[in-house]
Amino acid sequence: MSIENLSSNKSFAGWHKQYNHYAETLSCTMRFAIYLPPQAANGQKVPVLYWLSGLTCTDENFMQKAGAHRAAAELGVAIVAPDTSPRGEDVADDESYDLGQGAGFFVNATEAPWSSHYQMYNYVVNELPALIEANFPVNDQRAIAGHSMGGHGALVIALRNPQRYCSVSAFSPISNPMNCPWGKKAFTAYLGEDTHSWRDYDASLLMREATQPVPALVDQGEADRFLTEQLQPERLEAAATDSGYPLQLRRHEGYDHSYYFISSFIDEHLRFHANHFNK
């Protein structure tokens, strides 16, 4: 479980750091970023929020644009942001932005050529937390959050692993990927033509069938250009209503799909997770 430090920057009395490591799950070298709040430097083990970013993003987008360090430092919460896909010259890719490198969709691919590396679900659920907990002063309290494709990933992972997470949140998640262009394209490539296997990665279907809920917060901008065709939050909301799932879905007039939206409400998400850590 060796890791290589690439950069270190002091931020709000804590530290933002980037690391490389070889990911056995993905059969390639991966990069992740971690923010360690000041409490972690004083011998205290802190809880962790795992952040999954959207299409075309890396570990850097959230850490540099979201403005999350101030609240994380105040609350004593570490943040871990992995890359959004495997990377490397021998890793399968596609010319389009919504498939291949930068677009892992947080699934375990079963179809060639993707299955050799694209095991992002297993990486985020198992390998990355084990690495973090072995190398940093964190405890076993975890939350997960994300944006767009990463919001889809966070919801799916929490819904399928309720024992591992105290809470889940998302900005503008792809709520019903089985029934939107982004999801259909990615799932066909990564998982094949049998749509029954797709159900394991669809948050709306999983939320409708959930029996062990994880408290969930979702924020959606009403001026998001992907709202109607790709995101479809009303389907997630309907699933929560049918199953009685503890979902708080908030709509915000005028906000779009950008990090301006995320930075406007990220403090509230961090406090949401901190409250559930404390419980």
Q: Averaged over 36-55, what is the pLDDT?
A: 95
Q: Is the pTM of this model over 0.95?
A: yes
pLDDT over 80 at 271, yes or no: yes
Pairing state between β 138-147 and 168-171 = parallel
- Does residue 278 have a pLDDT over 90? no
Structure token pair of residue 110? 């079963």
- Does position 227 have pLDDT exceeding 80, yes or no? yes
Q: What is the mean pLDDT of residues 45-58?
A: 98
Q: For residue 212, is it left (φ>0), alpha (ψ between -120 and 50) or beta?
A: beta
pLDDT at 48 over 80: yes
Annotated catalytic residue 200: no
pLDDT of residue 71: 98
Q: Where are the domains of the chain?
A: 3-278
pLDDT > 90? residue 1: no
Fold of 3-278: Rossmann fold (3.40.50)
Q: Is 117 a catalytic residue?
A: no
Q: What is the pLDDT confidence band of residue 43, given thresholds at 50, 70 and 90?
A: confident
Catalytic residue among 257, 269, 273, 276: 257
Annotated catalytic residue, options 11, 148, 169, 175: 148
Tell me the CA distances in angstroms from 239 to 39, 156, 182, one per residue in order.
39, 13, 20
**pLDDT exceeds cutoff 90 at 279:** no
Q: How far apart are CA 145 and CA 265, in angstroms?
A: 13
Q: Tokens for 275?
A: 């409250």
pLDDT of residue 156: 98
Mean predicted lDDT score pLDDT of the chain? 97
The dihedral sign for the CA sequence 200, 86, 216, 273: positive
* Residue 257 appears among annotated catalytic residues: yes
Q: Containing H/E element for 133? A: helix 128-135
Q: Which of 98, 169, 224, 269 is catalytic?
A: 224
